[in-house]
Chain A
Amino acid sequence: MAVLRPLDKLPGLNSAALLLVGSDEELQQKLAEAILQEKRDFKISIHIATSLPLPSERDHLRPRIDLIVFVIDIKSKCSLKNVEASLAYVDATFFLGKVCFLVTGVGRVNCCSIETNAICKLGEAYCSPMLFCELELEGVRVSTAQRLLRMLQICAGLVPGFSALSFSLLMRNSADD
């Protein structure tokens, strides 16, 4: 199946799956390790890919993806193009709170080759929260990992009474104000 759908497979008990999509493998690897270092009480599996669609051979082995994080490097235009191309393979119902954009490399303002305007428009067009971070730095990586872990927990339905959709609306309304 070429298009990722959120409710295709049955969820696992007390577990969550995260998918990182981006062009820089190393950074994603580091981020994944940082997430795994965090203390948590549920099972987590992190999948890393450079672009969608995911290869269909392993489709039956993959669990249900709870949160997709698109990693955009602000220093390279091709990462943005890559992400935009991959967005086509994600089902529309995914964007009800289960997608997040992570913009990395914001520490170096003079090396920006993508405008913040374009990225913000992307986030607004897809109604998804936009997180800005700098994955090269240790401290920022850890805090980003904590944020992503919390978001993953909510999107997997492990926080009773709070759904992914309400979370995304909360993020959006507070951003607007």
Chain B
Amino acid sequence: MADMSWNLEQELEQGRAPAWPQGGHDVGVLKLLRLRDQMKQLLMEYSAAVRGGETTFLDQVVEEKHIQGVTEDLQTDKEEIEVSFWNKTLALQRIQLMAALRNKMKQDDKDSCLILETVNRIVLLSQAIIKYQQLAHEKKQKLIDIKRKRLSLKKDQRRKLQQIQTMKKKQKKEKGNKNLDEAKMLQNLEKERLMTTVIQNVFQNIIIGSGVNWAEDPSLKAIVLQLEKNVHLP
């Protein structure tokens, strides 16, 4: 098998076509330029291979992380480029479509009339759409204004209710205080009344005890009779 392949090699190398064109002086320069391009290409390939095998990290983990980071960056770049490529294709197709339409319209036969009609109809419909969209927008604005007013009114209402509540609380407190004062006053009054009753009784008893005929003296009579009634205060 090895010999066979070697023999075939020999035959094939002998049978190949001449590689260099036989020629004169200018062709030599061309040859050299071509060789130079080839060597540049080969140099690029070899240096790329060398660069590829160069990254030697001491730590396996760091290298893996580095590779992961680089892979992710490349993936995002790739996706961005794909997206931009698709956008550009779409834009190009749109341009081509418009150019084809324009050419077709210039031809001026019944197809182009149809196209023209359709385009006009499209324009009218778009205008109507724009108008209705504007109306809708205005209505939405009005709705928003009304809602805003409602919100502010609600806020006012809330504030007022809070004010009412605080006032009511104040009033209750004052009433409570007043009640307390009243109760104190009533107590004092009651004390005074009792004292007055006691003094009256003592006065009566003094007049009766003194043995004076109080029925004759009208002033004394008035006093005693008056003093009979217990001082009753409502």
Contacts and interface: CB of A to CB of B under 8 A. Distances in A.
A48 B13 CA distance: 12
Contact of A161 (B2, B16, B39, B41): B41
Nearest to B42: A157
B117 interface: no
Q: Which DSSP category, helix, strand, loop or mixed, fits chain B's interface?
A: helix
B45 A45 contact: no
**Size category of the binding interface on chain A:** 20 to 34
B12 A160 contact: no
Contact of B19 (A15, A58, A163, A164): A15
B38 interface: yes
A142 interface: no
A137 to B, nearest CB: 22
Contacts of B9: 45-47
Contacts of A121: none
A44 to B, nearest CB: 6
A160 B38 contact: yes
B19 A157 contact: no
B5 interface: yes
Contacts of A170: none
Interface in A46-62: 46-50, 54-55, 57-58
B86 to A, nearest CB: 12
Q: Which 5 A-B pairs have the closest CB atoms?
A: A160-B37, A55-B2, A157-B41, A157-B42, A43-B19
Interface of A: 7, 11, 13-15, 25, 29, 32, 36, 39-50, 54-55, 57-58, 93, 157-161, 163-164
Given A13-B38, A45-B9, 13 more contacts: A14-B35, A32-B12, A39-B17, A41-B21, A47-B5, A48-B8, A49-B1, A50-B1, A57-B2, A58-B6, A157-B38, A160-B40, A161-B41
